[in-house]
Amino acid sequence: MTRYFTQDHEWIEVDGSNATVGITDYAQGQLGDITFVDLPAAGTSVKKGDAPCVVDSVKAASDVYSPASGEVTEANGALDGEPELVNTDPEGAGWLFKLTLSDAGELDGLMDKAAYDEFVAGL
């Protein structure tokens, strides 16, 4: 499994053609207390750069962009009752949705962990 990161602070973990998407710890820290996550339904077709998911904090609503194209297979139902999981474990139990990738080539331009950490350090 490989995890990639975007400049918009999403992460995508890829296992073959299956992937899991979430937001990074840096992103949750910027958003603050998350009160609601508007998740995509299974079967939703997404293109890279679409915003199938919205994370609501006390401060504002923020789009989550899909780092790759594909079809949503599952959303993290645990967030309906505990949206704060995105704050407490953004890169684990606070994942947002899973999808089957339609074009693995789209991952080429994304950052690995080291590159992302460097990117965040420069912000």
Partner 1 sequence: MSEAEDIEEIEVLTLPLDGWHRARGGRMVEFAGYWMPVQFEGILAEHEWTRASAGLFDVSHMGQLYISGEGVEAALEAVLPIDLATLKPNGPRYSMLLDEEGGILDDLMVTRWSTGFYLVVNGATKWDDMGHLREHLPDEVTMMYMEDNALLALQGPQAAAALERVTTGEWPLSALTFMKGGQFKIAGVDAWISRSGYTGEDGFEIAIPAESAALVADTICAQPEVKPIGLGARDSLRLEAGLPLYGHDLSPDHSPVDADLLFAVNKRRRTEGGFLGAERVLRELAEGTKQKRVGLALEGRQAAREGAEVYNGDQKVGVLTSGGFSPTLGHPIAMAYVDMAHTAEGTALEVDVRGKRLPARVVSMPFVPHRYYR
Site residues, partner 1 (CB under 8 A): 32-33, 35-36, 38, 54, 56-61, 83
Q: Smaller CB distance to partner 1: residue 42 or 61?
A: 61
Contact 84, 61 (CB under 8 A): no
Contact by Cβ (8 Å): 6, 110: yes
In the block, tokens 């994942």 appear at 95
Which lies closer to partner 1 via its Cβ, residue 4 or residue 97?
97
Strand bridging mode 70-75 / 45-46: antiparallel
What is the chain's Cα-based Rg? 13
Write the secondary structure of 21-57 as one string of H (helix), E (strand) and C (coil): EEECHHHHHHHCCEEEEECCCCCCEECCCCCCEEEEE
For residue 1, what is the DSSP state?
A: -
Shortest Å distance, C-beta 111 to partner 1: 25
CB of 1 to partner 1, least distance (A): 32
To the nearest whole angstrom, how small is the minimum distance from the Cβ of residue 58 to partner 1?
4
Which residue number, 1 or 58, has a Cβ lying nearer to partner 1?
A: 58
* Shortest CB 101 distance to partner 1, Å: 26
Q: Which is nearer to partner 1, 35 or 100 (CB)?
A: 35
